């Protein structure tokens, strides 16, 4: 396989570029002029951006070579996710790589606000020494309210506990045990959290709640507001009014509704407001982490693997190694099932044992569809756009939990109402074991290459196939057999040391009692 060609439009950091260049040809820019990007989109397998470029529907459409786009950072507000999904383009980001940097910056800004550090610095530099004019407050026992207890929010809570601050949070997408694990009081209503926060900080994506004037007025008198998340999450004009009224004591703002902000921006000249130019994730360590995470995700996606930082697919919250094993298992399952069932008129059923966590089901559904459709359609199909392609092809996939099965993590596919079509795999820590093919029990750790026959169970079949394979100079590693019953339909699986030529397959299918033959190579 030739090396992919990747475009990096802004500084990624030397470690990220070094990682990419081990496996790909990379054209890297400190800052590619945005108007030059459209003419380049056709030339690359992947494009990596930061904040200076927007990947719109118009930019993403019509580029058959482009498989992956990445935002080297947490947010993907400047990528049209709907269009990318429609076109089967994987979208990668780097969530959490700069979480510590953003959390520490939150407290840097907060301390600057609450202790009058910026104003005090300017005062000293101008020759002043009026200590009483810059009397500050302590963080100790101030009630901290966090909107969004994700990666950054959790790091903020960790630091706050070091200051002996009681911490509360609002995040409707998390279960109670997450709050308990981080020693954070859970609020189920945003209004209630705001009303009990001496300091309020927001750490959500752009789609998070908007703090309008009504919400801001619920804050206790003298409260401080922080935004090191996304510009536009806070009504900036309302915030300025509440500061002027004295209802709020200060604000720390790193992100703005318009960047860079106009000099007449409502908060620019307010006292007790400290601003920075979107520096939350900007540390040397974070840049290294973002670069490496982005590079790994892009290369995994280009190699048809499922990276944990894939945005436009419902990636389950499982350890990365578990995800890789599941990815391999579902690829094997879907490909075998598709090859053995070329004509599918009824719905296909994806069956999961009770040992499979419910959180993996949305992703498994799309991954199974992608593997099933891969060889059946002419257009690009992958986990990203599998649901859309299946809909266009008129294919329905049903998902069921098989509570009758044992505790092994097993996955199977079958045509609804036809158990004789079922293919089943078991996912172990060591390997992916195929347990059924065409409804016939087998037990084989799936190899890199396999020749599979469906045949009539009769004397001499195994010997004739083995002899023919040997005549082509191909060594058989292992032989596995399965059957429905004596003299009925049977399976033979040969693990081969080298890829068989097409002529061998043509010769095998001509042997007596052979019904069909398939070869599977490098499914993972």
- Residues that are catalytic: 230, 259, 278
| Pairing outcome for strands 418-427 and 432-437 | antiparallel
Is the distance from CB of 427 to CB of 325 less than 8 angstroms? Answer: yes
Side-chain half-sphere of 403: how many Cα atoms within 13 Å? 0
Side-chain half-sphere of 124: how many Cα atoms within 13 Å? 8
Q: What angle do CA 33, 38, 40 make, to 5 degrees?
A: 85
Residue matched to tokens 């995800």: 323
Q: Which residues of 218-246 are buried (b: 16+ CB within 10 A; e: fewer)?
A: bbbeebbbbbbbbbebbbbebbbbbbeee
CA distance 369 to 399: 11
Give the containing element (helix H, strand E) for 238.
helix 236-245
CA distance 35 to 254: 27
Residue from 489, 340, 309 nearest 412 by CA: 340
Q: What are phi and psi of 423, to 5 degrees?
A: -120, 130
User: Helix 361-373 crosses helix 386-393 at what angle (to 10 degrees)?
Assistant: 60
Residue from 265, 245, 249 nearest 257 by CA: 265
Coil vs helix vs strand at 489: strand
CA distance 41 to 52: 16
- Exposure of 189 by Cβ count < 10 A (0-12 exposed, 13-18 middle, 19+ buried)? exposed
CA distance 414 to 391: 18
Biggest CA-to-CA distance, the chain: 103
One-character DSSP codes across 427-485:
E-SS-EEEEEETTEEEEEE--SEEEEEEEE--TTHHHHHHHHHHHTT--EEEEEEEESS
Residue 26 burial (CB count, 10 A):
23
């Amino acid at each position: 396989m030739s090396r992919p060609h990747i475009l990096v439009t802004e500084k990624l950091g030397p470690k990220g570029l070094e990682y990419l260049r081990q496996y790909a040809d990379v054209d890297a820019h400190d800052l590619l002029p945005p108007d030059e990007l459209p003419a380049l989109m056709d030339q690359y397998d992947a494009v990596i951006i930061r904040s200076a470029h927007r990947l719109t529907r118009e930019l993403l459409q019509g580029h058959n070579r482009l498989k992956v786009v990445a935002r080297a950072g947490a947010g993907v507000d400047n990528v049209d996710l709907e269009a990318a999904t429609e076109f089967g383009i994987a979208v990668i980001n780097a969530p959490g790589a700069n979480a510590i940097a953003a959390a520490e910056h939150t407290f840097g800004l907060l301390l600057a606000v609450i202790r009058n550090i910026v104003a005090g610095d300017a005062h000293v530099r101008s020759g002043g020494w009026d200590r009483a004019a810059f009397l500050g407050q302590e963080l100790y026992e101030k009630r901290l309210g966090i909107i969004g207890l994700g990666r950054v929010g959790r790091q903020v809570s960790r630091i706050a506990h070091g200051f002996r601050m009681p911490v509360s949070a609002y995040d409707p997408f998390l279960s109670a045990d997450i709050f308990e694990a981080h020693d954070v009081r859970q609020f189920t209503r945003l209004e209630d959290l705001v009303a009990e926060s001496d300091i309020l900080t927001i750490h959500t994506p752009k789609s998070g709640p908007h703090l309008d004037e009504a919400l801001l007025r619920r804050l206790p008198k003298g409260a401080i507001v922080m935004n090191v998340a996304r510009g536009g999450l806070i009504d900036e004009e309302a915030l300025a009014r509440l500061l002027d009224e004295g209802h709020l004591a200060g604000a720390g703002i790193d992100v703005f509704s318009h960047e860079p902000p106009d000099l007449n921006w409502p908060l620019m000249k307010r006292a007790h407001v400290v601003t920075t130019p979107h520096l939350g994730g900007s540390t040397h360590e974070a840049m290294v982490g973002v670069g490496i995470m982005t590079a790994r995700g892009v290369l995994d996606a280009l190699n048809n693997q499922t990276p944990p930082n894939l945005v436009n697919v419902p990636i389950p919250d499982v350890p990365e190694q578990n995800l890789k094993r599941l990815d391999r298992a579902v690829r094997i399952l879907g490909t075998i099932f598709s090859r053995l069932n070329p004509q599918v008129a009824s719905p296909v059923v994806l069956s999961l044992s009770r040992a499979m966590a419910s959180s993996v089901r949305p992703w498994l559904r799309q991954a199974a569809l992608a593997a099933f459709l891969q060889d059946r359609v002419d257009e690009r199909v992958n986990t990203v756009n599998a649901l859309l392609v299946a809909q266009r092809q008129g294919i329905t996939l049903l998902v069921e939990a098989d509570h009758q099965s044992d505790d092994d993590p097993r996955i199977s596919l079958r045509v609804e109402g036809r158990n004789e079509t079922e293919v089943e795999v078991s996912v172990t820590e060591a390997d992916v074991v195929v347990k059924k093919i065409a409804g016939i029990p087998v037990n084989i750790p799936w190899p890199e290459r396999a020749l599979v026959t469906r045949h009539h169970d009769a004397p001499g079949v195994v010997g004739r196939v083995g002899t023919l394979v040997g005549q082509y100079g191909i060594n058989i590693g292992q032989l596995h057999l399965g059957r429905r019953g004596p003299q009925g339909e049977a399976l033979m699986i040969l693990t081969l040391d080298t890829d068989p030529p097409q002529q061998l397959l043509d010769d095998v299918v001509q042997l007596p009692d052979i019904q069909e033959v398939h070869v599977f190579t490098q499914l993972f």
